[in-house]
Amino acid sequence: MIVEREKMEKFIQIGSEKFMIRQYRDDDETGVRKLWKAAFGKEMPMRLWYWKYLNNPYKRQMIICVAETGETVVSYTGIPYRTNLQGQTVEMSQLMDIMSHPEYRKTGLFIKTAHIFFEIFGKDILFVYGFPGKYHYDIGEKYLGYQALTRTVSYLSAQTDALARQEAGCCRSEPITEIDASFDGLWEKCLDDYPFSIIRNADFVRWRFCDHPMKNYEIFGCRKNSGPELHAYAVFSVEGKNARMADILAPVSEESIGDFMCQTALLLKDSGIERIETWLPENHFITQALISAGFINAPEPLGIIPTVRNFERAPRLEWTSEHLYYTMADADLV
């Protein structure tokens, strides 16, 4: 039984226990972090929580379920990224850290909390999305309306010594330490080439990579030999001798993308990196350019399923599958 008290609070009774489902408030931080520890068996660092949800450049979309005792037992949260849809700015939310307390699983509370999230925020966003494994996807498909994109994800990898080349091409690659207005200019230049994508401007790159409290990223920019204008960027998370490419943005040009990546591979190789890997939509022009440059399309190792849950204003699934550009920067996996 669900009884609505006011727009943002709903009361549920399951047996003799009563629960409230509502939007997150600032004083809920302790309860949610306790839930995180109960659900995942480890602490969530406070600085990560603040960076991800409270200090990001986007709106808050956080719904929790609280027991009569005051204990937080379910959290269903997302980040509503500003997104380009054929020249219009819209929002789509990446689901992160959705969780339920082990003692309250299989009670229906998680499903009810999710549906209230959809009810409250579904009017403002096109869809929620994520990259679950099969177990969590199957639950979402059965109870929450999840749909897998009809185009799958490509997992690409290459050895840096196979990619690296010394000869000058149409551009040069160089490390970037400051995110400036050139990133806004690059996004504007790329707008028509990415008809459905998170807006990858300076604010996004700065928050997602430079401000991250737990990870260090290496950012490389592509500049034409004739001047300082930024023509592409790529971001890497380095672990040992392996570099995961978390993000890349470039205009349509197989030659330029290939040259940029080969020169970047040379810089990575010189710093001791032996291998690059990345995840991209199988049908995107960047994917094809990287394969042409020497990347190998290998079996995807994590079992992730690119997934959406559409709301009323969302494009058809088939159109989204053909046009949505995503990288692992659109998630919190890399």
138-147 tens-digit pLDDT: 999 999 999 9
240-255 tens-digit pLDDT: 999 999 999 999 998 8
67-99 tens-digit pLDDT: 999 999 999 999 999 999 999 999 999 999 999
The pLDDT assigned to 4 comes to 41
pTM higher than 0.95, yes or no?
Answer: no
Nearest-angstrom CA–CA distance, 178 and 173: 15
- Give the chain's domains with CATH numbers: 2-125 (3.40.630.30), 153-330 (3.40.630.30)
Nearest-angstrom CA–CA distance, 141 and 122: 17
CB 262 within 8 A of CB 212: no
Beta-carbon contacts of residue 226 (< 8 Å; ≥ 6 apart): none
Mean model confidence pLDDT for the chain: 93
Q: What is the mean pLDDT of residues 95-110?
A: 94
Q: pLDDT exceeding 70 applies to what percent of the chain? A: 96
283-296 tens-digit pLDDT: 999 999 999 999 99
Q: If we measure between CA atoms, which residue out of 56, 25, 41, 28 comes closest to residue 332?
A: 56
Confidence of residue 137 (pLDDT cuts 50, 70, 90): very high
